[in-house]
Structure 1
Amino acid sequence: MIPVMTTSIVEKLVLGAAERHGVPEPVAHEMLTSSRPCVHLIPFEDMTSAQQEAARPAARTGGLPCLPDGIDWPEGREPLVLTVHCAALPREALDIELPPDGDLLFFVEIEYEPESSTVLHVPADARTTERSATYELDGEPEQARVYEPAVLYPVPGLTVAPDWRDAPATRAFLDGSAERYGILDAFEDAVRDAAAGGASQGVSVQLGGFSSAWQSAPDEGDLVLLAQIHGQSIDIDVYTQTLIVGTRKDIAERRYHALQFEQQV
């Protein structure tokens, strides 16, 4: 398994990066206060060699869904874009509550604005069968979209709130010089890279943490991020971002029907 960062390790990482980049300690502490852990799901080749040695698959993109008896492909026939193997996740790296085992299946349209989307939890002990992508609509044969399956591996990461730079010490630091924006950008990038252990996580699937939305962030107020799915992590030619949010209570109690899906381009 990939090592999970403890609070003390995260603090040491952030303070060390701040010292190297000439960022005052109070600013580093404001970043810590505004940070949340996440898990990146990435291809094997995006991991470092050390991470690859301990790698354990935790998810799969695309493919056909394996569903229990009595549960069919969701009515809208949205493609299966992601299957997460909950037991393989580094649970200590998340501050949202996911099932301890079984699979989470994400059905959502990533090429067009989704009309409906579904997240299903399939228990570990459920007897399942792989479902066909073909179905009948108004007497005519149809085919649901099936993306090429690919294995993803978990890497713990760190995210920061989009408005963390509005904190007093950070704002005062930025007001001192225009070039300090670049210093803070480099500091933030260094923290993210170090938290991910050097793994590449730019175009990936992210579970938990703060979103890195291209437009307005949907994880505001009582809503937190369950998953952020870059289209290119599913299909290299799909340039979208799908953000799935819900309340902590709904996510913890598996009321996935209450989740909200937003696509950004």
Structure 2
Amino acid sequence: MDEGTIARLADEHGVPADVAGELAGLLRPCVFLVTYEDLPEGRRADARPAGRTGGLPSLPEGVEWPEGVPFALAVGCAALPRDAIDIELPLDGQLLFFTTFRYEPEDSAVLHVPTGVPTTEHALPKELDGQEAVAYEPRVLYPVPGLTIDHDWYNAPAAAAFGDGGSDRHEVLDRFVEAAVDSVPGGSPSNSVAQIGGFSNQWQVPPDENGLVLLAQIAGNGVDQGLFTLNLIVGAREDIAAGRWDELQYEQQY
């Protein structure tokens, strides 16, 4: 976010410059993946797909469907706006996410299929989630750059000192932060199926702490209709950059 925007928003919301500068330093970019219906109107004209939910994955020869785990999401790496991500992802190919939303997954997996590698659409296994296999509904997703803020922003020194000046100041800070994260040109989506990078929008204890960063979070209701869970995938920056997908950690919140 540019300094001019921060200064304008701070002035509009009555936030001191030192607090505004501190909170601006706690922002991280991300990419939201949304259906066409959830795209901000200003982004619809030039929208290009960047992924899809469900369906069947296309896998290289010798790569098997992770045992017992549904295929949830495919993300086209080259279709992601690179300036909206501050983690190192592959420049091409697809990231394939296998996970379940029905209960806390015992197994989940991320696979990267590079561009140019021959693939074949994999047949649906006989069983997934310990029951007769059903593929998730395919839904095309579009990328929207966004901003997220550190989970603990309200305890940052300048923000905490400002908030201690009165209960109304907490509301001032809340409105300023909301305006800041919604200030991305073209508009922010009101609803997303998945988020790539940034800080997690966790419902419980954030898993992206202590050296771990968010690779992706996937809303259960966006993939498996009616299941209000949130699956979060985190890892060390260096493992994500090196493509060490087996080092990732998975958590489900509900």
Query: TM-score with structure 1 length normalisation?
Result: 0.90
SS in 2 for 1:134: coil
Which residue in the other structure is 1:90 paired with? 81
Question: How far apart, in 1, do the equivalents of 2:108 and 2:115 lie?
Answer: 22
- 1:27 offset after TM fit, Å? 1.1
Contact 2:229 2:253 in 1 (8 A): yes
In structure 1, the residue matched to 2:134 is 145
User: 1:225 is paired with a residue of what secondary structure?
Assistant: strand
CA distance in 2, matches of 1:136, 1:189: 43
Identity %: 52
Q: Which residue is equivalent to 2:164?
A: 175
- C-alpha deviation, 1:234, in angstroms: 1.2
SS at match of 1:179: helix
Q: Is the 8 A contact 1:227 1:245 kept in 2?
A: yes
Q: CA deviation at 1:196?
A: 6.3
8 Å Cα contact 1:61-1:152 kept in structure 2: yes
Alignment of 1:64-75 (within 5 A): 64-75=56-67
Q: Aligned partners of 1:39, 1:111: CA distance in 2, in Å?
A: 25
- Tell whether 2:91 aligns with 1:100: yes
1:191 aligns with 2:183: no
Residue 164 (1) aligns with residue 114 (2): no
CA distance, structure 2, for counterparts of residue 185 and residue 204 of structure 1: 24
Q: Which residue is 1:18 aligned to?
A: 10
The Cα of 1:201 is off from its aligned counterpart by 4.0
Residue 126 of structure 2 aligns to which amino acid in structure 1?
Answer: Y
Q: Does residue 262 in structure 1 map to residue 236 in structure 2?
A: no
1-structure distance, mates of 2:112, 2:185: 27
Distance 1:19 1:46 in 2: 31
Q: CA, structure 1 residues 229+10, in 2 after alignment: closer, same or farther (shift >3 Å)?
A: farther
Structure 1 counterpart of 2:170, one-letter code: Y
* Equivalent residues, number: 252
What TM-score do the two structures reach when normalised by structure 2? 0.94
CA distance in 1 between counterparts of 2:221 and 2:7 reads 33
Gaps of 5+ in 1: 1-8
Question: What's the C-alpha RMSD, in Å, of the aligned pairs?
Answer: 1.6
**Residues 10 and 63 of structure 1, relative CA distance in 2, 3 Å threshold:** farther
Unaligned runs of 5+ residues in structure 2 are none
Matched, 1:232 2:221: yes
